[in-house]
Amino acid sequence: MKKLILSAAAVLLFFSCQNDQTDLTNTDTSAVTKRNCASQDVLEAQLKADPSLAIRMNQIEAFTEKAMLTKRLVNGKVVIPVVVNVLYRTAAENISDAQIQSQIDVLNKDFTATNSDFSNTPALFSGVAANVGITFELKQIIRKSTTKTSWGTTDTMKNAKRGGIAPTSPTTNLNLWVCTIGGGILGYAQFPGGSSATDGVAIDSKYFGLSGSANAPYNLGRTATHEVGHWMNLRHIWGDASCGSDLVSDTPTHNDANYGVPAYPHYSTCSGTPVEMTMNYMDYTDDNAMFMFSTGQKSRMSAIFVSGGARASFGI
């Protein structure tokens, strides 16, 4: 496992110098066959629009690191109220209450390690496979008919004046927007530190929940698990760079993103050639190939809910 040693300056550079690789206005709405999350690209756009965001995220990172070092973490139950905002033009986009509840059920299982495939965790990683201990409760469903064929990744779906739905009390609710995003994007999240006016997670309706409009190989609800991980301050496991850092000490260094269903063991060519944790929710594999968070990731997520943390208003 890699060691994590980053100075404050290095963390600031990490947040302000990521490559922008996704067209945020691409309107292609065809089914996706290769996972693509726009969270990092949206972050890059937000950093360009608001340079002070890098400073806030650097402060959050410093707080997170200190909380983990001092074991000052949430030591009780965190329950996240969820508001689901459905924007639809077609009947398929107007997903059912049952499909929405199925997604909440997946989140609850994945974040408490009660998912049936958790037992598939290889012995090599069984010692760090974690029960995050966070649960989710569906609080409200808001629906709105629209004429838009796709929403892109510029947060339009979160803006009522632009035809979207404004977030409901985002400091105390996790807002999920379900709509057609387009551009080959399954979903994206806002990291802690961004504006409350756009805080939450957007997921394409074709990859939300277990039934209805959900399309294989992204029909097991893991897109939301991945994106909520970002919302709770997790990075992609490969650090969005070749042999990059995800700011977690117990995940192996990955060459890059993994796709599909990789054969195990899959070795990295990075320093030490570790076996990659391809089954981690923060990789890019198919839904049926990801089924665990690590203990280090749990610590990062827990740190944002303690007093002084970026999402302390959700904490116990």
* Chain centroid to CA 171: 17
The two tokens of residue 76 are 């009780």
The two tokens of residue 262 are 């990789």
Q: Tell the residue number behind the tokens 């459905």, with chain if given.
A: 86
Phi, psi of 38 (to 5 degrees): -100, 10
Asked if residues 300 and 126 have their Cβ atoms less than 8 Å apart, the reply is no
Is 227 an active-site residue?
yes
- Pick the catalytic residue from 61, 93, 227, 276: 227
Determine the Cα–Cα distance for residues 202 and 157; give it in Å rounded to an integer: 8
Determine the Cα–Cα distance for residues 101 and 208; give it in Å rounded to an integer: 10
Tell me the Cα Rg of the chain. 18
Asked if residues 51 and 44 have their Cβ atoms less than 8 Å apart, the reply is no
State the catalytic residues.
227
